[in-house]
Amino acid sequence: MYKIVRKKELNPTVTLMDIDAPAVAAKAEPGQFIILRTDENGERIPLTVADFDREKGTVTIIFQIVGATTEKLNHLKEGEYIHDFVGPLGTATHTEGLKKVAVVGGGVGCAIAYPIAKKLHSLGCEVHSVVGFRSKDLLILEDEFKECSDKYVVMTDDGSYGEKGLVTDALKKLIESGEKYDEVITIGPLIMMKFVCRLTKEFNVKTVVSMNPIMIDGTGMCGGCRLSVGGETKFACVDGPDFDGHLVDFDEAMDRGSMYRSYERKKHEETCNLFKGVN
Amino acid sequence: MPDMSLTKHPMPSQEPDVRNKNFLEVALGYTEEIAVAEANRCLNCKNMPCVSGCPVNIQIPHFIKKIVEKDFEGAYEVIAGSSSLPAVCGRVCPQEKQCEGKCVRGIKGEPVGIGRLERFAADYHNANFKGEVKKPEPNGKKVAVIGAGPSGLTCAGDLAKKGYAVTIFEALHLAGGVLVYGIPEFRLPKSIVQKEIDGLSALGVDVETNMVIGKTVTIDELFEKGYDAMFIGSGAGLPRFMNIPGENLKGVYSANEFLTRVNLMKAYKPGSDTPIKENKNVAVVGGGNVAMDAARCAKRLGAENVYIVYRRGEEELPARKEEVEHAKEEGIIFKLLNNPVEILGCEDKDENGRPAPGYHFVTGMKCIKMELGEPDASGRRKPVEIPGSEFVLDVDCVIMAIGTSPNPLIKNTTEGLETNKHGCIVTKDESGLTSREGIYAGGDAVTGAATVISAMGAGKKAAAAIDEYLSNKN
């Protein structure tokens, strides 16, 4: 059992938790993920590490409430326990030797982009962070990003904060204004990463994406997380989750991600009704 | 005078048409009367050919004699002298290729039902034994066992009995390895596996779940933490695919994923949060035990038609005979001498050109008919395609059960640990000693996908070798 030592609502649909998991905290690196199970009947879901404190032995996770499991997770309180918490899994994001990087995050993906930006910054890399949200009330981690970014651009779909538009608009502007990046690292919805990659391909800038497909064990055992990368089948859990974005078949990844959508909707509804009954 | 009837006493079982709709155990086990009668078929041969067929050399005629004498606990003790998981092995061993394959009674008629008798003795013990397990005197030495599957559990049990402080590190949230994620409830009830693990805990074995060795902790860090020796029984968990078009369509599973969802995650139970696709027509590719398990699970989940698609013939099916028989009885359709060449998916789009419901879900599997040619390297006749014989099997789900390879996580994070080109850990000899001092390995991690009993045998031998190594060390 793994204790929730801190819980904080970042916006109405996004929650942060610090989990007491010293063994995971000792090893975690930006870009890696954990798998958790809320309770005995729970499913195993992957969540990317948002931060870690090796001294306190805690791992931070940030999640959006999208389905039954995240709904259940969000109903756990500070001081309560998560049944299973295993990691760190996957390979860490490559950060060594980079001099100038644009970190592009979308929505809750910013939670994963942040530790990478922080690590790059600590290594002396110039970091330009471009973050996108639907609207101002969904904005997360603004202070944190500002602290580790040489440039920080916020985009909102409705223009309620920062500039109105998509992250690709902002990134395009930066590249066209003459910014030369060693790499673009992008994390967010698949459709966003797809278009970031389309843009950077035009400008021939190497782009790394972080994939988060359906998986069970996270150690290479089930193959449920398989993706086509450069025409080869890769397992996101052990070969990734980071991949060369210009080689990833995003359409297939989006397709595979929808496998259980109708089931998930039904289960989420059931869970919500269950909680309504309790409260 | 032994009972000279030519056939085994039939195993009481659930009716096929009943059991293919539930996950309860298929074979119900011998009663005391049947067990004694079957035990009476044993000729008690002096040279004991059956023992030579057993990977852990259970003194078979001895335990059978105890059953004849109705000393059922005594029979269990004889088995337990050689095997750590009798209730498991009695259920999942391929006896026809091992002990029973060597039984003299099998020359004319059926061999003695050794597996059924082993299971009977183990179940009798589990139901009736009330005594306390005596915790051995600690010898002050620590051993880490990586992986809580058959080889790891066996190795841990043997070492704990000798007084070693043993910690098992398991990557999943539950101990048992393939016994809990792979083999279904109806073939091996999970309560039996749990009983074995509880038995280890009673001996003082510590099981740490959610520990991925090579990720959470490395082998070398475990040495730094004071472990004197290590046993790697991390299994062969990496699923293989065929690399044919359409394998990434929705509705294509590795057998590992399908079985893990069903068995470990209990997707068949209404209370479980883990989803599994509802299927009408399922093709399972492969002919081993894993293929049979997947097919029978699919049937129980409500599929109307479940096919085993296998490129060789009936004779070549690698599965246990009993599994094939059970599968057939339950209505699994065997499409032998067929090989998949492509998996087909729905390409429907709506009027706006957007994917329609069902888009890229499996709609069929194109296969080609095969015939058997000359024997290949494995000694089996090689399947050869018959040109122009392609046909489409109407399925909405495909499960690939064509084998697994060892997981590279440990290899990649342990310097000096030698592996072969298949990723299997190289061991010096039967002791399981690897290229690194103090590190032993066994089971599928060394051999590639094999059986529960051979993994158990390897765990036993490694435990003896580790004991010898640590006893001589100071």
Work out the percent of chain B whose per-residue pLDDT is above 70: 100
Q: Are residue A121 and residue A242 in the same domain, yes or no?
A: yes
**Residue B258: inside a domain:** yes
Q: Are residue A127 and residue A238 in the same domain, yes or no?
A: yes
Measured in degrees and rounded to the nearest 5, phi and psi for residue A35 equal -120, 135
A220·B409 Cβ contact <8 A = yes
Q: Are residue B212 and residue B68 in the same domain, yes or no?
A: no
**Residue A272: inside a domain:** no
What confidence tens digit (pLDDT) does each residue in B302-344 have?
999 999 999 999 999 999 888 999 999 999 999 999 999 999 9
Q: Are residue A53 and residue A135 in the same domain, yes or no?
A: no
Q: Rg (Cα) of chain A, in Å, rounded?
A: 18
**Confidence at residue A260, expressed as pLDDT on a 0 to 100 scale:** 87
Say if CB B159 and CB B198 are below 8 A apart.
no
The Cα B462–Cα B451 span in angstroms is 17
How near does any CA of chain B get to the CA of A116, in Å? 19
B260·A217 Cβ contact <8 A = yes
Q: Enumerate the residues of chain B whose CB falls inside 8 A of the CB of residue A87.
A: 212, 215-216
Q: Enumerate the residues of chain B whose CB falls inside 8 A of the CB of residue A221.
A: 181, 237-239, 256, 260, 407
Residues of A112-129 as b/e, b for ≥16 C-beta within 10 angstroms? bbbbbbbbbbeeebbbbb
**Confidence at residue B188, expressed as pLDDT on a 0 to 100 scale:** 95
Q: Are residue B392 and residue B261 in the same domain, yes or no?
A: yes
How near does any CA of chain B get to the CA of A23, in Å? 6
Q: Are residue B369 and residue B256 in the same domain, yes or no?
A: yes
B209·A84 Cβ contact <8 A = yes
**Residue B135: inside a domain:** no
User: For chain A, how far is it from start to end, CA to CA, in angstroms?
Assistant: 25
Q: Are residue A10 and residue A65 in the same domain, yes or no?
A: yes
Please give the DSSP secondary-structure letter assigned to residue B200: H
What confidence tens digit (pLDDT) does each residue in A197-206 have?
999 999 999 9
What CATH number is attached to the domain comprising A131? Answer: 3.40.50.80
Q: In what order do the strands lie in the sheet with A207-210?
A: A163-164, A151-156, A126-133, A100-106, A183-187, A207-210, A242-244
Rounded mean pLDDT, B255-271: 92
What CATH number is attached to the domain comprising A60? Answer: 2.40.30.10
Q: Enumerate the residues of chain B whose CB falls inside 8 A of the CB of residue A267.
A: 273, 275
Interchain CB contact of A216 with B (< 8 Å): yes
Other CB atoms closer than 10 Å to residue B325's CB: what's the count? 12
CA dihedral A163, A167, A172, A174 (to 10 degrees): 60
Residue of B nearest to A87 (CA): B216
The Cα A278–Cα A272 span in angstroms is 10
B248·A24 Cβ contact <8 A = no
How near does any CA of chain A get to the CA of B316, in Å? 27
Contacts of B222 (CB under 8 A, 6+ apart): B144, B169, B213, B230
Say if CB B105 and CB B40 are below 8 A apart.
no
User: Looking at the 3D structure of chain B, how many domains does it have?
Assistant: 3
The answer, yes or no, to whether residue A279 has pLDDT greater than 60, is no
User: Looking at the 3D structure of chain A, how many domains does it have?
Assistant: 2
Q: Are residue A107 and residue A85 in the same domain, yes or no?
A: no
Q: How confident is the model at residue A277 (pLDDT cuts 50, 70, 90)?
A: low
**Residue A270: inside a domain:** no
**Arithmetic mean of pLDDT over chain B:** 93
A252·B273 Cβ contact <8 A = no
B355·A264 Cβ contact <8 A = no
CB-CB: which of B239, B273, B360 is closest to A223?
A: B239
Say if CB B37 and CB B91 are below 8 A apart.
no
C-beta contacts of A134-143 below 8 A and 24+ residues apart: A134/A107, A134/A158, A135/A160, A135/A161, A136/A160, A136/A161, A137/A11, A137/A12, A138/A11, A138/A13, A138/A14, A138/A107, A139/A11, A140/A10, A140/A11, A140/A14, A140/A62, A140/A108, A140/A110, A140/A111, A141/A10, A141/A110, A141/A111, A141/A114
A84·B277 Cβ contact <8 A = no
CB-CB: which of B256, B265, B408 is closest to A223?
A: B256
What CATH number is attached to the domain comprising B258? Answer: 3.50.50.60
**What are the E-state strand segments in B99-180?**
142-146, 165-169
Q: Are residue B283 and residue B384 in the same domain, yes or no?
A: yes
Q: Are residue A67 and residue A200 in the same domain, yes or no?
A: no
**Residue A271: inside a domain:** no
Work out the percent of chain B whose per-residue pLDDT is above 90: 79
Interface test with B, best of A54, A71, A86 (most B CBs within 10 A): A86
Instruction: Look up tokens 């696709």; give the residue.
Output: B277
What confidence tens digit (pLDDT) does each residue in B121-153 have?
999 999 998 877 778 899 999 999 999 999 999
Its domain, for residue A222, covers 100-257
B274·A44 Cβ contact <8 A = yes
Q: Are residue A140 and residue A234 in the same domain, yes or no?
A: yes
Token pair of A53 as six digits: 């404190």
Q: Are residue A52 and residue A128 in the same domain, yes or no?
A: no
**Confidence at residue A66, expressed as pLDDT on a 0 to 100 scale:** 87
Residue at a domain's end among A89, A122, A142? A89
Interchain CB contact of A69 with B (< 8 Å): yes
- Ramachandran area for residue B376 (φ above 0: left; ψ -120 to 50: alpha; else beta): beta
Closest CA to B115 of B27, B192, B198: B27
**Residue A273: inside a domain:** no
Interchain CB contact of A213 with B (< 8 Å): no
Interface test with B, best of A41, A215, A217, A265 (most B CBs within 10 A): A217
Q: What is the β-pairing status of strands B362-375 and A100-106?
A: unpaired
Q: Are residue B170 and residue B296 in the same domain, yes or no?
A: no
Q: How confident is the model at residue A86 (pLDDT cuts 50, 70, 90)?
A: very high
Helix boundaries (H) for chain A: 22-27, 68-75, 110-122, 142-148, 167-176, 190-203, 236-239, 250-257, 261-278
Please give the DSSP secondary-structure letter assigned to residue B245: T
Interface test with A, best of B180, B209, B216 (most A CBs within 10 A): B216
Closest CA to B60 of B39, B34, B29: B39
Provide the chain A residues 128-167 that lie in CB contact (below 8 A) with chain B: none
**Residue A277: inside a domain:** no
DSSP bridge pairs for B384? B371
**Residue B186: inside a domain:** yes
- Ramachandran area for residue B35 (φ above 0: left; ψ -120 to 50: alpha; else beta): alpha
Contacts of B19 (CB under 8 A, 6+ apart): B13, B26, B186, B330
The answer, yes or no, to whether residue B416 has pLDDT greater than 60, is yes
Peptide bond into A213 cis (omega under 30): no
Rounded mean pLDDT, B348-366: 90
Q: Are residue B286 and residue B390 in the same domain, yes or no?
A: yes
**Residue A95: inside a domain:** no
The 3-state DSSP composition of chain B as helix, strand, coil percent (nearest 5) reads: 35, 20, 45
The answer, yes or no, to whether residue B226 has pLDDT greater than 80, is yes
B265·A43 Cβ contact <8 A = yes
CB-CB: which of B216, B257, B408 is closest to A222?
A: B257
Cβ-in-10-Å burial (0-12, 13-18, 19+) of B139 comes to: middle
Helix boundaries (H) for B275-314: 289-300
Closest CA to A133 of A260, A14, A49, A50: A14
The answer, yes or no, to whether residue A90 has pLDDT greater than 90, is yes
Q: Are residue B35 and residue B108 in the same domain, yes or no?
A: yes
Q: How confident is the model at residue A44 (pLDDT cuts 50, 70, 90)?
A: very high
Its domain, for residue B79, covers 16-128
Interface contacts A/B by beta carbons within 8 Å = 109
Residue of B nearest to A271 (CA): B273
How near does any CA of chain B get to the CA of A149, in Å? 30
CA dihedral B213, B214, B218, B219 (to 10 degrees): 70
Interchain CB contact of A273 with B (< 8 Å): no
Rounded mean pLDDT, B273-281: 91
Say if CB B98 and CB B106 are below 8 A apart.
no
Tell me the three state secondary structure of residue B261: helix
The answer, yes or no, to whether residue B474 has pLDDT greater than 70, is no
CB-CB: which of A86, A222, A223 is closest to B210?
A: A86
What CATH number is attached to the domain comprising B56? Answer: 1.10.1060.10
Q: Are residue B395 and residue B250 in the same domain, yes or no?
A: yes
B210·A84 Cβ contact <8 A = yes
**Residue A263: inside a domain:** no
A217·B265 Cβ contact <8 A = no
Residues of B with CB under 8 A from a CB of A: 171-173, 181, 209-212, 215-217, 237-239, 241, 243, 247-248, 250, 253-254, 256-257, 260-261, 265-266, 269, 271-275, 277, 355, 359-360, 407-409
Contacts of A86 (CB under 8 A, 6+ apart): A24, A34, A35, A36, A218, B171, B173, B210, B211, B212, B216
C-beta contacts of A223-232 below 8 A and 24+ residues apart: A223/B239, A223/B241, A223/B254, A223/B256, A223/B257, A224/B253, A224/B254, A224/B257, A226/A256, A226/B241, A226/B248, A227/A252, A227/A253, A227/A256, A227/B248, A228/A252, A228/B248
Q: Enumerate the residues of chain A whose CB falls inside 8 A of the CB of residue B269.
A: 41
The Cα B417–Cα A87 span in angstroms is 23
What confidence tens digit (pLDDT) does each residue in B169-201 have?
999 999 999 999 999 999 999 999 999 899 899
B266·A27 Cβ contact <8 A = no
Q: Are residue A213 and residue A192 in the same domain, yes or no?
A: yes
Residue at a domain's end among A53, A68, A89? A89
Q: Are residue A126 and residue A199 in the same domain, yes or no?
A: yes
Q: Are residue B387 and residue B323 in the same domain, yes or no?
A: yes
Cβ-in-10-Å burial (0-12, 13-18, 19+) of B353 comes to: exposed
Choice between B419 and A275, residue whose per-residue pLDDT is larger: B419
**Residue B3: inside a domain:** no
Cβ-in-10-Å burial (0-12, 13-18, 19+) of B265 comes to: buried
Q: Report how far apart, in Å, the C-alpha atoms of A98 and of each of A95, A146, A181, A193 are.
A: 6, 19, 9, 21
Token pair of B351 as six digits: 């009027």
Residue at a domain's end among B402, B424, B456? B402
Q: Which value does ipTM take for this structure?
A: 0.93
Interchain CB contact of A75 with B (< 8 Å): no
A43·B359 Cβ contact <8 A = no
**Confidence at residue A278, expressed as pLDDT on a 0 to 100 scale:** 56
Q: Are residue A76 and residue A184 in the same domain, yes or no?
A: no
**Residue B124: inside a domain:** yes
Say if CB B12 and CB B29 are below 8 A apart.
yes
Residue at a domain's end among B378, B402, B426? B402
Residues of A185-207 as b/e, b for ≥16 C-beta within 10 angstroms? bbbbebebbbbbbebbeeeebbb
Q: Are residue B58 and residue B111 in the same domain, yes or no?
A: yes
CB-CB: which of B172, B216, B238 is closest to A27?
A: B216
How near does any CA of chain B get to the CA of A178, in Å? 37
Q: Are residue B266 and residue B391 in the same domain, yes or no?
A: yes
Other CB atoms closer than 10 Å to residue B429's CB: what's the count? 8
Residue of A nearest to B401 (CA): A222
B275·A233 Cβ contact <8 A = no
Contacts of B83 (CB under 8 A, 6+ apart): B56, B58, B89, B456
Say if CB B186 and CB B78 are below 8 A apart.
no
**Confidence at residue B374, expressed as pLDDT on a 0 to 100 scale:** 87
B216·A256 Cβ contact <8 A = no
Query: Alpha-carbon torsion B282, B287, B289, B292, what sign?
Result: positive
CB-CB: which of B216, B250, B254 is closest to A24?
A: B216
- Tell me how many helices (H) and strands (E) chain A has: 9, 16
Q: Are residue B416 and residue B313 in the same domain, yes or no?
A: no
Contacts of B437 (CB under 8 A, 6+ apart): none
Residue at a domain's end among B65, B95, B128? B128
**Confidence at residue A243, expressed as pLDDT on a 0 to 100 scale:** 97
Q: Are residue A108 and residue A195 in the same domain, yes or no?
A: yes
